[in-house]
Structure 1
Amino acid sequence: MKKVYVIHENSEWTDHLTRRLEELEVPYEEWHLDQGTLDLSAEPPEGIFYSRMSASSHTRDHRFAAEYTAQVLAWLEVHGRKVLNGTRALQLEVSKVLQYLELNKYGVHTPKTVAAVGRGQILEAAAQFDGKAFITKHNRAGKGLGVQLFQTMDALRSYVESPGFEEPVDGITLIQEYIQSPESFITRCEFVGGNFVYAVKVDTSEGFQLCPADACQIGDLFCPVGEEVEEKPKFQIIDGFSDPIIERYKQVLAENSIRVAGIEFIRDASGEIFTYDINTNTNYNSDAEAKAGKFGMLEVAAFLKKELGNL
């Protein structure tokens, strides 16, 4: 029997999807690819293959999950299987450098960013920002890895030369201009099947929980998935959101064979949009969705059901 194969390495982030697949009576199987074997002489089963491999997999002791998944996706694609968020999507998932290059190619503005390998080179790169505030982040990120705000070179030097310096898993640190927004929020646009589903406004005034599965908290502006504070919702789906940037995002996703993703941006004081992340392993905030009556994982499950039916 043909079925949907869900490729991932984190069950906590996948349960929300499998519950919806069961609700829609979609046959499925999970492939948990933190380790395994791949017989290159074997043929893959028939079905739809949907990858939810995460850039932060190494933080869950799944150091080579993304690398192994890349080989499995290539094997599936060589055999002509229908792969959603395949090889190209994974390449962008694990590299913000590649994300920014693709966004820029289609006219999407990103913050000024310099990639550096080596502690001395990080300091050298930061000197290009002419005394303005900047942030550091990991090239292979997720979970806000390596995100810190610096106002001065001295502060950066103290951090880089300290035992507390956080080495990126791929060795690449990004130094990026800090975009000052007049209001403390960012916007995340969700896409399923290449189509825009909704935009969510994320209050960043007091920090936030990183995601439904982790209790991490970071003081940056870069991940919208999490829980509500008591006073007011931290995550609000924007009713009737519309902006020309949506069509550019759709083009970027289509040209890179990305079918499911969340794309994040921030506006500066002049209203200009700066896009800084494409997340192909997107999650959704249940409280915000319940209030708006829109459900991202249900959309994903329905999309997978339709793709399976088209085989």
Structure 2
Amino acid sequence: MKKIYVIHENDEWVVPLRIEFEKLNLPYEEWFLNKGTLELSQAPPEGVFYNRMSASSHTRDHRYAAEFTGAVLSWLEAHGRRVVNNSSALKLEVSKVAQYVSLNTFGIRTPKTIAAVGKEEIIKAAKEFQGDFITKHNRAGKGLGVQKFANIEALEKYVYGSDFEEPVDGITLIQQYIDSPSPFIVRNEFIGGKYYYSVQVNTSEGFQLCPADACQIGDAFCPVGESVTSKFTVLENFENPIFEKYQKFLAANGIEIAGIEMITDKEGQIYTYDINTNTNYNSEAERKAGVSGMGAIAKFLGEELGKLQ
């Protein structure tokens, strides 16, 4: 029997999707790809394959999960299987450099960014910036490794100190700090390649902006009860002309399900700075707005499966 196959490496993030599959009585199977084997002479099963591999998989001791997933996706695509968020999407998930280069080709503004390998090169690159700047990992996820600096001296203390975080791929990004008039960014969710909704995220407590309930434990936002000030708020009737460019960008890169994060500076200029192809959703924010990202994903995957029957 044909079914939906969910490729991932984090059980907690798949829990809401399992619930939605059960509601729709959809047949599915999970492929947990933190390790395994792949027999290249065999053909893969029939079905719809949804890739939810994360750039942050290495932070959960799944160091080669993304690489193994890349091999599996190549195998699936060679056999003509229906893959949602294909190998091109995975390439952008694990490399912000690849994200920015592609975004720029579609006329989407990104912050000035320099990629550097080596501590001396990081310092050298930072001297190209005026005012505040940030560092981040090329392959990260959840905002891990993001640091803000006001000057070169502070950066040198960090880079040559014991707190320096070495990126898993060795590439550190030095990036223009976008000074927004309010402590918020907007994350735009796309499902089936089409705009679904936007959520405003409060950044006043830092840059780790993963919306999944599993990411919020210990935060000011409590996933099991009502909070005074939620970090995530779904925006009603939010529209922006940039969505048309986003949809073209997603289609060109084989990305059908994603969250695209943007920030607006004091002059009203929009900067796009991150693409999440294993996007998660916040249950409290969705409940208040009457929407369900995972519900929409399950419906979309079910429709794609129906096309194969």
1:91 equivalent in structure 2:
91
2:204 equivalent in structure 1:
205
Q: Does 1:187 align with 2:186?
A: yes
2:157 equivalent in structure 1:
158
- 5+ residue gaps, structure 1, are 219-224
CA distance in 1, matches of 2:274, 2:159: 24
2:43 equivalent in structure 1:
43
Q: Does 1:295 align with 2:296?
A: no
Q: Deviations over 1:61-99 (max 9, x none)?
A: 100000000000000000010011010000000000000
CA distance in 1, matches of 2:24, 2:83: 20
1:221 equivalent in structure 2:
none
1:1-311 aligned at under 5 Å gives the runs 1-130=1-130, 132-207=131-206, 210=210, 211-215=212-216, 230-311=227-308
**Matched-pair contact (CA < 8 Å) for 1:181–1:268:** yes
What code does the residue aligned with 2:175 have? Q
- 5+ residue gaps, structure 2, are none
- Describe the shift of the 1:135–1:229 C-alpha distance in structure 2 as closer, same or farther (beyond 3 A): farther
Name the SS for the 1:128 alignment partner: coil
**Matched-pair contact (CA < 8 Å) for 2:264–2:271:** yes
Name the SS for the 2:115 alignment partner: strand
**Matched-pair contact (CA < 8 Å) for 2:201–2:209:** no
How many angstroms does 1:205 deviate by? Answer: 2.4
CA distance in 1, matches of 2:17, 2:227: 27
How many angstroms does 1:14 deviate by? Answer: 0.8
Q: Deviations over 1:171-194 (max 9, x none)?
A: 000000000000110000000000
How many angstroms does 1:141 deviate by? Answer: 1.0
**Matched-pair contact (CA < 8 Å) for 1:226–1:285:** no
CA distance in 2, matches of 1:81, 1:251: 23
CA distance in 2, matches of 1:26, 1:253: 26
- Describe the shift of the 1:201–1:24 C-alpha distance in structure 2 as closer, same or farther (beyond 3 A): same
**Matched-pair contact (CA < 8 Å) for 1:209–1:216:** no
CA root-mean-square deviation: 1.7
**Matched-pair contact (CA < 8 Å) for 1:6–1:28:** yes
User: Quick check: 232-241 or 145-154, which moved more?
Assistant: 232-241
Name the SS for the 2:185 alignment partner: strand
How many angstroms does 1:233 deviate by? Answer: 2.5
What code does the residue aligned with 1:175 have? I
How many angstroms does 1:231 deviate by? Answer: 2.5
| Aligned residues with identical type, % of pairs | 59
Name the SS for the 1:284 alignment partner: coil
When normalised by structure 1's length, the TM-score is 0.94
What code does the residue aligned with 1:78 have? A
How many angstroms does 1:206 deviate by? Answer: 3.4
- Describe the shift of the 1:277–1:229 C-alpha distance in structure 2 as closer, same or farther (beyond 3 A): farther
How many angstroms does 1:217 deviate by? Answer: 7.8
How many angstroms does 1:232 deviate by? Answer: 2.5
How many angstroms does 1:159 deviate by? Answer: 0.5
